[in-house]
Structure 1
Amino acid sequence: MIGGPVRELLTDVQYRVRGAHPLRPGMRSALRRAERADPRELRRMQERRLRLLVRWAAARTPYYRRWFADAGLDPRDVRTLDDLAALPTIGRDNVAADPTAFLAYPRRLAWPARSSGTSGTVVTVYRSPGSAVYERCALERQWSWFGVPPRAPRVVLRGSTVAGPHGITRIRPATGELLVSSFHLTAEHLPEILAAVRAHAPVAVEGWPSSLTLFATLLRDAGEPLRVRAVITSSEVIGAAAARTLEEVFGGPVVDHYGQTERVALAGNCPCGGLHAFGDYGIVETLPVPDAPQRREIVGTPLHNWAFPLLRYRTGDEVVGEPDPAPCPCGRSFPLLGAVDGRVEDAFTAADGRPIPLPHTLVKNLTGLREVQVAQHAPGRFEVRVVPGHGYDREAVAAAVRATVHRVVGPGQTVEVRETERIPRSASGKLRPAIVLGE
């Protein structure tokens, strides 16, 4: 398990690669063409990449090499989007069982990422540096729809790696972003945060909706509005009331995008309000959810990550209702998704009363686990429930949990790690990665 300072250093290196990658200009040019492409042209592009991806996966990954051999199917027979139905869907359990079975690159040439996501099932995935650059360019394209240039100064509230020895804020040298700790959004810390933010002169603010809403509320109560061109959000479902608060305080529109750690699908809203699935990033299917006729599960096949090809990956995320079949008034060719029913988490509370948004991030980088859940029994009193998996190390997991909580939340918290054979599910059958309990 990589410690916080080392992980942050590696993250900075990765951001430098994204900014200086030699294929970045070509990727940006291709992305600009795709958003205005004729739907038939976009489909032809998807099918060209799909044919290459399927053959690559069948030749290079143990999982698909076995599957095609057992199924007696020639990878060259998968040629069109309609042919995708011949392939099986896969999910978190497949990847969690053996991530290396999906690796098409040597592990040393791929970037790992870990998540417990909305399901609580711990998964490790990989991506190529080129995939990370492509995703960044796709997001920058969406930001440009709202007048935000690629390298515009931004304030980012997306976690806790700022906390600890770095203080409450710091500049990420690779990007020029001002990082603000999501776990220090209090009236006491606001003057220090606001001074750093105003000195940075951001064009946009970016982060988790819960963190941004806390920040906006503090600014509103202090009579200190912060005007920017856009409020960039992701990782959580954003409610109408929160969106209104963000737009009132920051003066810019909410620019929201949907994605996953597995990077199989990417979608974002346009200035007309539609949520577009980015068809040049991945092929998106929406499959019926049993006993829920108004809901469909998002299944993605990424067209950019040659290091870790996942074909027809079930995200576990669902869309509610049917998208409008009419073309979006914005004129872009990407299809509309509908409303994504994604992660909603209650904020935890630290021992001193500070809110802790998206608390599942406290345990997202643990390894050797099949399932994990962090529960709050009272402010500052946490229990991390773990189901041991391959390579589990009890002492290492416990030490990593306590070190992370101390580093990002601060001293004075009580943390207990409890092993269990199975973590209870909610009424819907899902494992919630973070839960607030009573005394």
Structure 2
Amino acid sequence: MIGWGEFDRGTPMAPRGAGVDVKHRLRRAHPYRSIARRQLAWAEQATPAELADRRDRRLRAQVRWAARRSPFYREMFAEHGIDPRDIRTAADLVHLPTTDRVSVTDRRADFCALPERLMWPASSSGTSGRPVTVMRTPASSVYELCAQERQWRWFGLDADTPRIVLRGNDFVADTDGSPVRPLPGNRQLMVSSFYLTPDHLPAILGAVDDFGPQAIEGWPSSIAVLAGLLADAGHTLPLRGVITSSEVIGGPARALMASVFDAPIVDHYGQTERVVMTGNCEHGTHHVFDDYGVLEQVPVPGVPDRWEIVGSSLHNRGFPLLRYRTGDQVGPAPDEPCPCGRPFGRIGTIAGRAEDVFTAADGRALPVPSTVVDDLVGVRGVQIVQHRAGDFEVRVVPGGGWDAEVTDRQVRRNVDRMFGPGQRVTITTLDTLSTPDGGKVKSAYVVGV
């Protein structure tokens, strides 16, 4: 039998800088895809004991691989006098120290257990303003896609379901200004999150009519903006599913999407680091995908009924992360069993990324604006702030290898491509990041009107 990580070595991957559509096609054609789908299908039919046994076997393999191949983990096991063979079940993970964004940012190359040329990077400014870049193998990316598709099937959707995709697409800068780009081979109609305006609505509606989508996928804030435009214009767009991720969904946004799209919300939680994944079933319960990663809930000091999510990935052999502190917090899980009967664990409400929607100089809504600083390098912290419509400040905490001119060029290029021309941008260097209320640092927020 072929092991779950065997296709991580020497398999086809997208070239550096390849677009989302290229990577998506490669993932769908990858030889590991059929194996991953079989494993994931088995898991949802297993008993909780069977699922736990397979999870622990994969965890043992991942721990021993990391201890042999990752310089960071070789050093960690030696420094703490821990024998990797003593980590046999998820319960044994408490014997390992945790890792966090600081370690990954400062020693990224030391986490790699495979050559970087066999992987591609994934970056995010995250929810706390500290950017992070990790590496992903083709097989781990395939596994993630298949795990998402498994959840979609609970709602009668699959990989071939034609869908609108709304994220921070900057393709408008490379085209004739159209806010849409059909990708027929991927069954996707890309719609730019940064060009959702009444003026662009006729073009979007025309493309939607031609495409015939059955679902919509993307950032909740972007989907809510589109839903608002449709509602204001007196339109509805009945679909079979609204697939969301990356942000917390508020009550008003949820109600607006339900009224316009008349479809269930298919929400999943994950991170750039891909250590754990959760998703709701058709009964609304959020389940932990125990075959994707091991999720621990560590109590938050001084805050009752709140736990930090700590995760250990089971699918990425190129960049193993064990007991990684995500910084995200979760509330109590429901006590009663879920009517769906699946063996996955249950989890409470997750407080993940929550960003203010910015406004461009011409009045356009700009959902999840931190995407314009996700790819900055050499910085220990970064945050983008709106003072007024079209007036933005990027606050940077320099790190090792930081180059002020490179950062300035990258920020201005990203803002021009994603937000559109005509914005005012200032860049400020700081020792630390903060928020006006002294709470958790946000990667993007509005301080003016």
How far residue 81 of structure 1 moved from its aligned partner, in angstroms, is 1.6
Q: State how far apart, in whole Å, the 1-side matches of 2:317 and 2:214 are.
A: 34
CA contact (8 A) 2:433 2:441 kept: yes
Equivalent residue in structure 2 for 1:66, among 75, 81, 86 = 75
Whole-angstrom CA distance in 2 between matches of 1:10 and 1:149: 22
2:221 paired residue among 206, 210, 229 = 210
Runs of at least 5 residues in structure 2 that lack an aligned partner in the other structure: 1-14
Match of 1:307 among 314, 318, 325: 318
Matched, 1:397 2:397: no
1:435 aligns with 2:448: no
Q: Deviations over 1:38-76 (max 9, x none)?
A: 010011001100111110000011111001111122111
For 2:444 and 2:347, the matched residues in 1 are separated by: 27
- Name 1:48's counterpart in structure 2: 57
Opposite residue 219 of structure 2, the aligned amino acid is W
State yes or no: 1:154 paired with 2:163. Answer: yes
Q: Find the counterpart in structure 2 of residue 385 from structure 1.
A: 395
Indicate the residue corresponding to 1:256 in structure 2: 267
* Cα deviation 1:180-213 (Å, max 9, x = unaligned): 0101111111000110111110110011111101
Q: How far 1:425 moved relative to its partner?
A: 4.3
**Residue 359 of structure 1: CA displacement?**
0.8
1:115·1:261 contact (CA, 8 Å) conserved in 2?
yes
- Tell me if structure 2 keeps the 8 A contact 1:162–1:180: no
| C-alpha distance in 1 between matches for 2:130 and 2:431 | 13
Instruction: Answer whether contact 1:162 1:179 (CA < 8 A) is retained.
Output: no
**1:415 equivalenced with 2:425 (yes/no):** yes
Whether the 8 Å contact between 1:318 and 1:341 is mirrored in structure 2 is: yes
Superposition pairs of residues 25-424 of structure 1, within 5 angstroms: 25-166=34-175, 167-172=178-183, 174-320=185-331, 322-424=332-434
CA distance in 2, matches of 1:425, 1:83: 37
Other structure's SS at 1:316 match: strand
- Letter in structure 1 aligned against 2:233: A
Deviates more, 1:421-430 or 1:189-198: 421-430
Shift of 1:161: 2.4
Is contact 2:193–2:222 with CA below 8 Å preserved after alignment?
yes
Secondary structure (helix, strand or coil) at the match of 1:284 reads strand
Q: Deviations over 1:156-176 (max 9, x none)?
A: 011122321233110235513
Q: Secondary structure at the match of 1:146?
A: coil
> 2: distance between equivalents of 1:178 and 1:356?
19
The 10-residue stretch of structure 1 (72-81 or 425-434) with the greater mean CA deviation from structure 2:
425-434
Equivalent residues, number: 433
Overall identity of the aligned pairs, in %: 53
SS in 2 for 1:114: strand
CA distance in 2, matches of 1:411, 1:399: 14
Separation (CA, whole Å) in 1 of partners of 2:439 and 2:201: 40
Distance (whole Å) between structure 2 residues aligned to residue 249 and residue 413 of structure 1: 32
* Paired residue type of 2:167: R
One-letter amino acid of the counterpart of residue 109, structure 1: L
TM-score, normalised via structure 2 length: 0.94
Shift of 1:429: 4.2
Does the CA-based 8 Å contact 1:375-1:383 persist in structure 2? yes
Contact 1:125 1:308 in 2 (8 A): yes
Shift, 1:326, TM fit:
2.8
- SS of the equivalent of 2:427 reads strand
Please give the root-mean-square deviation of Cα atoms over the aligned residues, in Å. Answer: 1.4
Q: Does the aligned pair in 2 maintain the 1:349–1:356 contact within 8 Å?
A: yes
Change (3 A) 1:429 1:100: farther
Q: Deviations over 1:310-336 (max 9, x none)?
A: 00111100112x212332101111011
CA drift at 1:149: 1.9
Per-residue displacement from partner, 1:357-396 (whole Å, max 9, x unpaired)? 1111111111111100111111111111111112211111
- Judge conservation of contact 2:16–2:120 (CA < 8 Å) in 1: no
**1:225 and 1:250 in contact (8 A); partners too:** yes
Moved more, 422-431 or 366-375: 422-431
SS of the residue corresponding to residue 339 of structure 2 reads coil
Partner SS for 1:198: helix
